[in-house]
Structure 1
Amino acid sequence: MSFTSDEVNYLIYRYLAESGFVHSAYLFGLESHIAHTSINGNIVPPGALLSLMQKGLYYTEAELCIGDDGQERTCENLSLIDAVVPEIVETRRRELHQQQQQQSSTSSSSSTGPTVKTDSKSSSRTHIHSSTPNEKDRSPMHPVTNTSPQSTHPTITDRSNIDSSSVNGGINHSNSSSADPTSMSLKMFNTPLPGHSHSPASTHSHYSHTHPPSSSSHTNTHQSSTNAGNYPAIPNGNDNSSLSSYSNSTNHIAIPKHEPMDYETVNNSHHHSHYSGNSTSNSLPTLPGSLNNTNNAMVNGSVEIPPNRVTVLRGHESEVFICAWNPTHDLLASGSGDSTARIWNLQGTREPEMVLRHCIRRGDTQVPSNKDVTSLDWNPSGTQLATGSYDGYARIWSSDGNLASTLGQHKGPIFALKWNKKGNYILSAGVDRTTIIWDANSGHCEQQFAFHTAPALDVDWQSDITFASCSTDQKIHVCRLGEQRPLKTFHGHQNEVNAIKWDPQGRLLASCSDDMSLKIWNMTKDTPVHNLQAHNKEIYTIKWSPTGPGTMNPNANLLLASASFDSTVRLWDVERGTCQSTLVKHTEPVYSVSFSPDGRLLATGSFDKAIYIWDIARGEIVHSYRGTGGIFEVCWNSRGTRVGASASDGTVSVTEHVFQ
């Protein structure tokens, strides 16, 4: 009989995920390289670790209850701690035996005394049992043929529990393997998690960004399931739906919260099984005969993009959490769990991608960090790219792939990173509970803000020196360079705040949370201008439309899009505080939404591997594409002709969109 550390790690991983500790599962899977094992998760039943522990407890109890002479002895019920410290059990047995002898002697010496009988069993013991699927509360999600999240977000059960004690974020570099650069997603982490800027995971991802994810946490909505054989597919919680996700060329792992985790095997030819197309139990029906789109679910048929208008970019060796187009050229940047970012040149003749390797110094040499690249952002002129990594460093690269500077002030993973509009400062947020403004030219830390009491998940600039940050501590701070206290602190969310975004004018601040609500704030009020509640699972990310006053499309209404783990996207009329439309087509959590530059189209990406392009005015899908991995991020190029998408199987896809 033998077992490996990979098998032990996998069972622990499954226990964490099935118990709802999705964020913890995400981090454990990342550090133990679960994605690179050959274990077939489909054959491992729910509660496997507890079942094995129970059997071991029975065996230990039987062993302790049989004496050296083979005779059965009185034995009390064991707890798990008793089983691992059997000498304590033996000590208690001897004490009990002595008490019985003393009582027996006392009884025999008294002709009238009653016989004393002792109960050898402990009056209070905790019995561990393995729950069957029917005994568990199940998340109200649909089963799928080939499950895949979380993440697989993966929910990072508490992003605040991540160790950030070391200089480089509590990362044990000596345990990293440069030949096996594995990590997961944050938001989502998560959870990541990706999406906001951390891997879902972050969970998140976001650590959700992944982050992820996170990736990741949540008001409960439980349903009991009677189907013990089906695992719901799906990461930044308590609502049983947060997850993180990660995959590689061998395994694709799904970690639904409170559910068993399954693998989806990916072969080398990149042909993958597609998810079931069944609608989720949360899908909203089309309202027949409706004359407007208010709360009208859009379930129109899709128009598949032909293969000659799809480019699949391969090169990453792990999941790709995030991607972003250069604002002036058709250069697409992507960040991955393989500890690299890549810049893909899609201008005319295809050129090999530029690989931006994220390394750390070990002695006198530079070695791969083996940590996820979970956030990236181009400067406004498109000449530099900033990246944030789980190794605790932010980096600035030139557009031709050369490292310009390394920013090393955070103690732990970086979840979000943004340039200001002027391009002279970079803003970052990390697990160390701080946000930092960096001088982009010198790489110097201009100011570090330590106002949050838990990991900071997302940041967004209001002006060139004023920004907002959100955290798992449920608070939102508005801060300004040079000020020693927040200008404003918003309280109201009941769970971690996954993402925040200022509207194009910097007047309204939108926030989304694992409490399933959207809130709209302004600087003149302490309470939300609007408290928008319609989603029935965590809201992973939000985006404002590039419309309304102060934009290139001033005559169009300002809208806010929200993407949720309930598999839907909602469009909100913020002025009225109402849901204008609900986009129902995806069958898995939606991690990303992106408006086209003219604000007429919306791209959505989900872990069902599908990308949909919606005509907002007509409420119809005009283009669709199904990839080979769950989608973490979608983004439009500056001309509105291409959509880039990063996926859990390590691919980056680019779809061409031509409209007559």
Structure 2
Amino acid sequence: MAGNLQVQKITTLTGHRDCVYTLEPSGQENIFFSAGGDGMVAAWDFDKPENGELVARVSTSVYALQYVPDRNLLLIGQNQEGLQVIGLNSKQILKSVPLPKAAIFDILYTSEQGKVYVALGNGGVGVLDGDTFELQTIIRKTDQSARCLAYNKHTGELAVGYSDNVVRVFDAASMALQQELTAHTNSVFTVAYSPDGRLLLTAGRDAHLWVWEVAENYKARGYQIAHMYTINHITYSPDGQYFATCSMDKSIKLWDAETFKLLKVIDKVRNAGHGTSVNKLFWSAHQNQLVSCSDDRTISVWDIKKVRL
């Protein structure tokens, strides 16, 4: 049974000149990446957090990053300007992939499928070859934005959250539509499969956290109003016992992944948290540290300790 959690802020990382929208782990446990409205992509080291390193600079906002582990590449999704492939050894742009003139809201690479999936602001999901990064197809079920992606390695399914309030589940290999989940009343900004693949968690602008049973044809287990405003992201802890949500209400919440009990609220009053919308989370295996980024231009690193009851 998961115990309670203790939270301590370790550091605040500064250097971005605009909202920070996304975070991404690397192949090294101590290194992660960030990007945002200033077009700068930075690398950070947990062991030397004060020294951010500029990896790339692009001309428009970056909402999505994806690390490709076996080749040490970083995929950068530019607003309106397509996908760029960065070689992290050389820090050079190896390839630019033109896509429809639309924002790239999420990128997902899966070695099992050998593909890259891109969530586009025109409602399309682009499917790229994972080796050449050539565009294979675009699947479009609505003209409203595809906002978020999650892959279930146990079932080979891809869940996509859209701004038409629907979560669509595809077979990741064929991109055949399997399910349409229609419980949300506003845009779906985040989808996450549990590490064991049994549950799908979805959330977004309606501030409702929905839980779906994957093996039972995505039957809804239920929902709770998890935040005051838009939920921007959900992430699981490395051991799968907990998950975290972050919101436009400036808070981060930590939950028991089995009971869905709220364990801890991280905010400005309690923990010197963010002053504006918290946009993305990354829960690292590096000493179980949670990283958050915000419209306030900062990145915070949190030490999460389990306290046995």
TM tier relative to shorter chain = 0.7 to 0.9
1:646 maps to which of 293, 300, 305: 293
Query: What TM-score results when the alignment is normalised by the length of structure 1?
Result: 0.40
Structure of higher RCO (CA pairs closer than 8 Å, 6+ residues apart): 2
The alpha carbon displacement at 1:533 in A equals: 2.0
1:239-638 mapped onto 2 (5 Å cutoff) = 310=11, 312-314=13-15, 316-344=16-44, 353-358=53-58, 369=59, 371-381=60-70, 383-400=72-89, 401-422=91-112, 424-463=114-153, 466-481=157-172, 483=174, 485-526=176-217, 528-535=219-226, 537-547=229-239, 558-565=241-248, 567=251, 569=253, 571-574=255-258, 579-584=260-265, 586=267, 608=268, 624=271, 626=273, 631-638=278-285
Query: Runs of 5+ in structure 2 lacking a partner?
Result: none
The alpha carbon displacement at 1:642 in A equals: 5.0
Identity rate, percent = 18
Which structure has greater helix proportion? 1
1:208 aligns with none
Amino acid at match of 1:342: A
Query: For 1:649 and 1:561, how far apart are their aligned partners in 2?
Result: 20
1:3-29: CA deviation from partner (whole Å, max 9, x where unpaired): xxxxxxxxxxxxxxxxxxxxxxxxxxx
Query: For 1:647 and 1:357, how far apart are their aligned partners in 2?
Result: 19
Amino acid at match of 1:420: T
Give the total of aligned pairs: 302
- Pick closer, same or farther for the CA change 1:562–1:508 going to 2, 3 Å: same
Amino acid at match of 1:581: L
1:151-300 mapped onto 2 (5 Å cutoff) = none
Does the 8 A contact of 2:235 with 2:283 survive in 1? no
- Pick closer, same or farther for the CA change 1:579–1:337 going to 2, 3 Å: same
**RMSD (CA atoms):** 3.8
The alpha carbon displacement at 1:582 in A equals: 4.7
Query: For 1:449 and 1:386, how far apart are their aligned partners in 2?
Result: 20
- Pick closer, same or farther for the CA change 1:537–1:644 going to 2, 3 Å: closer
Query: For 1:333 and 1:635, how far apart are their aligned partners in 2?
Result: 10
1:130-169 mapped onto 2 (5 Å cutoff) = none
Query: For 1:510 and 1:644, how far apart are their aligned partners in 2?
Result: 20
Structure 2 residue matching 1:429: 3-state secondary structure: strand
The alpha carbon displacement at 1:319 in A equals: 2.3
Question: Which has the greater radius of gyration?
Answer: 1
Does the 8 A contact of 2:126 with 2:137 survive in 1? yes
Query: For 2:262 and 2:165, how far apart are their aligned partners in 1?
Result: 27
1:148-192: CA deviation from partner (whole Å, max 9, x where unpaired): xxxxxxxxxxxxxxxxxxxxxxxxxxxxxxxxxxxxxxxxxxxxx
Structure 2 residue matching 1:520: 3-state secondary structure: strand
Query: What TM-score results when the alignment is normalised by the length of structure 2?
Result: 0.79
Amino acid at match of 1:425: K
- Pick closer, same or farther for the CA change 1:352–1:511 going to 2, 3 Å: closer
Query: For 2:24 and 2:83, how far apart are their aligned partners in 1?
Result: 16
Query: For 2:255 and 2:207, how far apart are their aligned partners in 1?
Result: 15
The alpha carbon displacement at 1:317 in A equals: 2.7
Amino acid at match of 2:21: F
Does the 8 A contact of 2:67 with 2:73 survive in 1? yes
1:180-229: CA deviation from partner (whole Å, max 9, x where unpaired): xxxxxxxxxxxxxxxxxxxxxxxxxxxxxxxxxxxxxxxxxxxxxxxxxx
Query: For 1:349 and 1:509, how far apart are their aligned partners in 2?
Result: 33
Which structure has greater strand proportion? 2
Query: For 1:476 and 1:627, how far apart are their aligned partners in 2?
Result: 29
Query: For 1:636 and 1:573, how far apart are their aligned partners in 2?
Result: 14
Amino acid at match of 1:635: F
Query: For 1:473 and 1:336, how far apart are their aligned partners in 2?
Result: 24
Query: For 1:467 and 1:630, how far apart are their aligned partners in 2?
Result: 27
